């Protein structure tokens, strides 16, 4: 790949892959989140809710990246000091809650996948994820960016194969589900806003990779691209899920539910490994944001061992919470509260700043 192509990839595509990386673990890796927020609206209502969520993501991500570029923010603390002024600790508190819930969801999902696929105790899958995230974040920005790129390739390829198999095996059932769906009701709006609300914080989490922007235009384009990059795998997954309505709505792991009924044991294992990799990149992005916040606030250069220790200190209590609450309970209760909290202290102030405020902050020189 030429130097020009690499530069454009880093400026326009990499932020979207990073955003997708953070979103997928808490957004749709297992399918439980899609069952919670989209399936209740039916096939067509679910698609409308996904479209609404994509539009919200695109607008907010573009505004976030632009604001971050203008104020020279490469971590969420700097971003919210500029956006909220003295009120920035409000986001710090909300983000702490977000991290606890989201990492607990990842741990619970990894445990459920290990139990369903390998028959091991759930704690084994949870600890494997903990070890993987710790190893990935130890190497800083360069290592994290490589995780985003390579896992993204695996993820998009696996979801494409998944859709082909679903259309081949249960295509008529998918078509029938859409053809016989009840009329769309207004509930899809709330589902789309709630789903977008708790996931959009990913745009702030991935600010460390926004260091490649050269202009406001770069930032806006990258934000607009990020939304469809993040939602495409969810769309493929959701369409396949409609073939198994209404029973799939109650499945703890909808992905395992579908794969068991499609057959293809080898692909079943490969898909679950892909989900584990998706949880790994999502957890890596979330924990890396904390490490970068610590490094920037203290003006420190963190060594790999320090990054790993910080990650362990964060992950251990969250993963223990996963064992006590379980995947369904975490998603059903934790995500809705997070969505409205983040909309109130992040999305609304950002939109007001974008629409009405002139941002006159000296730009930090872009670094590579």
The architecture in CATH of the region 7-356 reads Up-down Bundle (1.20)
Confidence band (pLDDT; 50, 70, 90) for 298? Answer: low
Query: If you ran DSSP here, which 8-state letter would residue 299 be given?
Result: T
**Is the pLDDT at 219 greater than 60, yes or no?**
yes
Q: Measured between alpha carbons, how far is 56 from 339 in angstroms, rounded to an integer?
A: 13
pLDDT of 362 reads 43
Q: Measured between alpha carbons, how far is 108 from 323 in angstroms, rounded to an integer?
A: 6
Confidence band (pLDDT; 50, 70, 90) for 364? Answer: very low
What are the distances in angstroms from CA 165 to CA 234, 262, 291? 16, 8, 40
Confidence band (pLDDT; 50, 70, 90) for 368? Answer: very low
Contact 311, 134 (CB under 8 A): yes
Q: Measured between alpha carbons, how far is 283 from 97 in angstroms, rounded to an integer?
A: 15
For the segment 303-326, what is each residue's pLDDT rounded down to a tens digit?
Answer: 888 888 888 888 888 777 655 655
Q: Measured between alpha carbons, how far is 286 from 277 in angstroms, rounded to an integer?
A: 14
Chain mean pLDDT for the chain: 85
Give the mean pLDDT of 213-221.
Answer: 93
Q: Measured between alpha carbons, how far is 160 from 242 in angstroms, rounded to an integer?
A: 17
CA of residue 229 relative to chain centroid, distance: 11
34 C-beta neighbours (distance < 10 Å), count: 25
For the segment 125-181, what is each residue's pLDDT rounded down to a tens digit?
Answer: 888 988 988 988 887 777 777 777 788 888 888 888 888 888 899 999 999 999 998
pTM for the structure as a whole: 0.82
Give the mean pLDDT of 32-51.
Answer: 92
Beta-carbon contacts of residue 225 (< 8 Å; ≥ 6 apart): 12, 13, 15, 16
pLDDT of 366 reads 45
Confidence band (pLDDT; 50, 70, 90) for 367? Answer: very low
Query: If you ran DSSP here, which 8-state letter would residue 100 be given?
Result: H
Q: Measured between alpha carbons, how far is 45 from 22 in angstroms, rounded to an integer?
A: 25
**Is the pLDDT at 8 greater than 60, yes or no?**
yes
């Amino acid at each position: 790949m030429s130097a020009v192509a690499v530069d454009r990839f880093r400026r326009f595509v990499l932020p979207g892959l990073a955003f997708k990386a953070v979103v997928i673990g808490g957004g749709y890796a297992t399918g439980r989140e899609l069952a919670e927020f989209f399936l209740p609206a039916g096939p067509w209502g679910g698609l409308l809710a996904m479209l609404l969520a994509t539009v919200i993501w695109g607008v907010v991500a573009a505004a976030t990246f632009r604001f971050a570029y203008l104020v020279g923010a490469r971590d969420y603390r700097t971003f919210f000091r500029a956006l909220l002024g003295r009120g920035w600790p409000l986001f710090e508190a909300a983000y702490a809650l977000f991290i606890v819930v989201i990492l607990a969801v990842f741990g619970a999902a990894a445990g459920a996948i290990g139990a369903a696929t390998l028959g091991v105790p759930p704690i084994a899958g949870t600890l494997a994820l903990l070890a993987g995230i710790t190893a990935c974040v130890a190497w800083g920005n360069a290592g994290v960016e490589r995780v985003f790129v390579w896992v993204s390739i695996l993820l998009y390829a696996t979801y494409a194969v998944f859709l082909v198999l679903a259309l081949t095996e249960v295509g008529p059932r998918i078509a029938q589900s859409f053809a016989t769906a009840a009329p769309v009701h207004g509930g899809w709006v709330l589902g789309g806003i709630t789903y977008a609300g708790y996931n959009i914080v990913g745009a702030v989490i991935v600010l460390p990779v926004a260091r490649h922007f050269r202009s406001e235009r770069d930032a806006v384009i990258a934000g607009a691209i990020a939304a469809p990059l993040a939602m495409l795998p969810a769309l493929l997954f959701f369409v396949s899920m409609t073939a198994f309505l209404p029973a799939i709505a109650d499945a703890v792991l909808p992905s395992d539910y579908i794969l068991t009924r499609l057959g293809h044991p080898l692909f079943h294992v490969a898909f679950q490994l892909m989900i584990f990799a998706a949880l790994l990149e999502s957890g890596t992005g979330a924990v890396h944001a904390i490490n970068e916040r610590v490094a920037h606030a203290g003006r420190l250069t963190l060594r790999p061992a320090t990054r790993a220790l910080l990650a362990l200190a964060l992950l251990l209590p969250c993963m223990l919470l996963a064992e006590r609450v379980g995947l369904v309970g975490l998603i059903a209760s934790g995500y809705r509260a997070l969505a409205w909290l983040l909309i109130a202290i992040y999305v609304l102030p950002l939109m007001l700043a974008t629409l009405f405020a002139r941002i006159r902050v000296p730009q930090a020189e872009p670094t590579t």
